[in-house]
Amino acid sequence: MTAGGAAGSQSKRDMATESEGGRVQAAIRRKLSEALAPSRLDIVDDSARHAGHVGARPEGESHFIVEIASAQFAGLSRVARQRLVHKVLAEELRTDVHALALKTLTPKEDAAD
């Protein structure tokens, strides 16, 4: 699911998909948006691909792919960026989220990607 970042205007597609997703995905979006003010935030619930695997919840919302661009990542290593995201999402990682794949970028890196 895709939603435009806090810094830019949202396209019709972004606004249409922003409300999609469940409770866990909404919490991830809210917490990352509030803590990191991303210029871009894409969240995909990848749980269906892991149905029946260890850690997968029957109701889904256990495996996510997150791509986030934030100026707060400037000067941080890849590991430090991921630790920052994990700190923001500590409660979700403790309870609902079994797997979180991250791509963390600065806005400049995102524009070049």
pLDDT for the residue numbered 8: 40
The closest of 107, 102, 97 to 47, measured between CA atoms, is: 97
pLDDT for the residue numbered 31: 98
- Angstrom distances, CA of residue 93 to CA of 17, 30, 85, 108: 23, 15, 10, 28
Q: For residues 16 and 2, what is the distance between their CA atoms, to the nearest angstrom? A: 9
β-pair type (99-105, 63-69) = parallel
Taken in order of first residue, the domains within the chain and their CATH numbers are 25-112 (3.30.300.90)
> How do residues 92-105 score in pLDDT, each as one tens digit?
999 999 899 999 99
The closest of 108, 107, 104, 113 to 32, measured between CA atoms, is: 104
pTM for the whole structure: 0.76
